Amino acid sequence: MKTAAVLLTVLLVQPPAAPALVDTPTVKVLTGLTVPEFEAEMQRITQALGASCGTCHARGNFASETNPRKAVARRMLEMTKAINQQFYADYQPDAGESRLGRITCFTCHQGDLHPKAQPPL
Protein backbone atom coordinates (compact mmCIF):
# COMPACT_ATOMS: atom_id res chain seq x y z
CA MET A 1 0.00 0.00 0.00
CA LYS A 2 2.82 2.38 0.91
CA THR A 3 4.57 1.62 -2.39
CA ALA A 4 1.42 2.45 -4.33
CA ALA A 5 1.11 5.78 -2.49
CA VAL A 6 4.74 6.67 -3.31
CA LEU A 7 4.28 5.69 -6.95
CA LEU A 8 1.09 7.74 -7.20
CA THR A 9 2.85 10.75 -5.66
CA VAL A 10 5.73 10.45 -8.15
CA LEU A 11 3.33 10.22 -11.07
CA LEU A 12 1.34 13.24 -9.91
CA VAL A 13 4.46 15.37 -9.35
CA GLN A 14 6.05 14.69 -12.73
CA PRO A 15 5.20 17.19 -15.47
CA PRO A 16 3.36 15.79 -18.47
CA ALA A 17 5.55 14.53 -21.27
CA ALA A 18 6.21 16.97 -24.10
CA PRO A 19 4.53 16.07 -27.41
CA ALA A 20 6.75 13.91 -29.60
CA LEU A 21 8.49 15.44 -32.60
CA VAL A 22 7.58 14.15 -36.03
CA ASP A 23 10.41 11.76 -36.78
CA THR A 24 9.99 9.90 -40.03
CA PRO A 25 12.24 9.83 -43.10
CA THR A 26 9.39 10.84 -45.41
CA VAL A 27 8.95 14.22 -43.67
CA LYS A 28 11.71 16.22 -45.34
CA VAL A 29 10.69 19.89 -45.14
CA LEU A 30 8.33 20.34 -42.18
CA THR A 31 10.92 19.08 -39.71
CA GLY A 32 11.31 20.01 -36.06
CA LEU A 33 7.57 20.14 -35.41
CA THR A 34 5.68 18.27 -32.76
CA VAL A 35 3.01 15.87 -33.95
CA PRO A 36 0.18 18.35 -33.10
CA GLU A 37 2.07 21.23 -34.81
CA PHE A 38 2.69 19.08 -37.89
CA GLU A 39 -0.96 18.04 -38.13
CA ALA A 40 -2.10 21.66 -37.72
CA GLU A 41 0.36 22.80 -40.40
CA MET A 42 -0.93 20.18 -42.83
CA GLN A 43 -4.50 21.37 -42.16
CA ARG A 44 -3.43 24.97 -42.85
CA ILE A 45 -1.89 23.86 -46.14
CA THR A 46 -5.05 22.07 -47.28
CA GLN A 47 -7.13 25.14 -46.39
CA ALA A 48 -4.69 27.52 -48.09
CA LEU A 49 -4.89 25.48 -51.30
CA GLY A 50 -8.57 24.63 -51.12
CA ALA A 51 -7.44 21.02 -51.40
CA SER A 52 -7.71 17.71 -49.60
CA CYS A 53 -4.98 15.39 -48.33
CA GLY A 54 -5.40 13.27 -51.49
CA THR A 55 -4.31 16.20 -53.65
CA CYS A 56 -0.66 15.51 -52.74
CA HIS A 57 -0.74 12.19 -50.88
CA ALA A 58 -1.56 8.72 -52.15
CA ARG A 59 -4.83 7.65 -50.58
CA GLY A 60 -4.27 5.33 -47.65
CA ASN A 61 -0.48 5.79 -47.69
CA PHE A 62 0.73 9.23 -46.67
CA ALA A 63 4.39 8.10 -46.86
CA SER A 64 4.11 7.07 -50.51
CA GLU A 65 6.04 9.11 -53.07
CA THR A 66 3.86 8.05 -56.04
CA ASN A 67 1.89 11.31 -56.34
CA PRO A 68 4.01 13.86 -58.28
CA ARG A 69 2.20 16.73 -56.56
CA LYS A 70 3.93 15.75 -53.31
CA ALA A 71 7.31 16.72 -54.84
CA VAL A 72 5.84 20.01 -56.07
CA ALA A 73 4.45 20.70 -52.59
CA ARG A 74 7.88 20.08 -51.06
CA ARG A 75 9.51 22.53 -53.49
CA MET A 76 6.87 25.14 -52.66
CA LEU A 77 7.42 24.62 -48.92
CA GLU A 78 11.19 24.93 -49.41
CA MET A 79 10.63 28.19 -51.32
CA THR A 80 8.35 29.50 -48.56
CA LYS A 81 10.87 28.60 -45.87
CA ALA A 82 13.68 30.28 -47.85
CA ILE A 83 11.66 33.50 -48.26
CA ASN A 84 10.90 33.54 -44.55
CA GLN A 85 14.53 32.89 -43.61
CA GLN A 86 15.79 35.64 -45.93
CA PHE A 87 13.23 38.36 -45.22
CA TYR A 88 11.55 37.46 -41.91
CA ALA A 89 14.25 35.63 -39.93
CA ASP A 90 13.21 37.27 -36.64
CA TYR A 91 9.48 36.60 -37.05
CA GLN A 92 7.97 34.60 -34.19
CA PRO A 93 4.48 33.23 -34.93
CA ASP A 94 1.84 33.54 -32.23
CA ALA A 95 0.14 30.46 -30.84
CA GLY A 96 -2.13 28.96 -33.48
CA GLU A 97 -0.29 30.58 -36.41
CA SER A 98 1.69 28.78 -39.09
CA ARG A 99 5.13 27.56 -38.07
CA LEU A 100 6.32 28.26 -41.62
CA GLY A 101 6.72 31.95 -40.82
CA ARG A 102 5.26 35.24 -41.98
CA ILE A 103 4.82 34.01 -45.56
CA THR A 104 2.64 30.91 -45.87
CA CYS A 105 0.92 28.95 -48.60
CA PHE A 106 -2.12 31.19 -48.17
CA THR A 107 -0.07 34.29 -49.04
CA CYS A 108 -0.15 33.32 -52.72
CA HIS A 109 -2.78 30.60 -53.03
CA GLN A 110 -5.60 32.23 -51.04
CA GLY A 111 -7.73 29.09 -51.04
CA ASP A 112 -7.00 28.02 -54.63
CA LEU A 113 -4.85 25.17 -55.90
CA HIS A 114 -3.03 27.57 -58.22
CA PRO A 115 -1.36 30.77 -56.93
CA LYS A 116 -3.31 33.96 -57.48
CA ALA A 117 -1.77 36.32 -60.01
CA GLN A 118 -0.61 39.71 -58.81
CA PRO A 119 -2.40 42.66 -60.38
CA PRO A 120 -0.21 44.82 -62.65
CA LEU A 121 1.36 47.81 -60.91
Q: Cα–Cα distance between 28 and 78 in angstroms, integer?
A: 10
Nearest to 101 by CA among 112, 111, 92: 92
Reported pTM: 0.80
Arithmetic mean of pLDDT, 73-91: 97
The values of phi and psi at residue 16, to 5°, are: -65, 150
Q: Cα–Cα distance between 90 and 101 in angstroms, integer?
A: 9
Q: Cα–Cα distance between 51 and 14 in angstroms, integer?
A: 41
Grade residue 29 by pLDDT with cuts at 50, 70 and 90: very high
Residue 108 above 90 pLDDT? yes
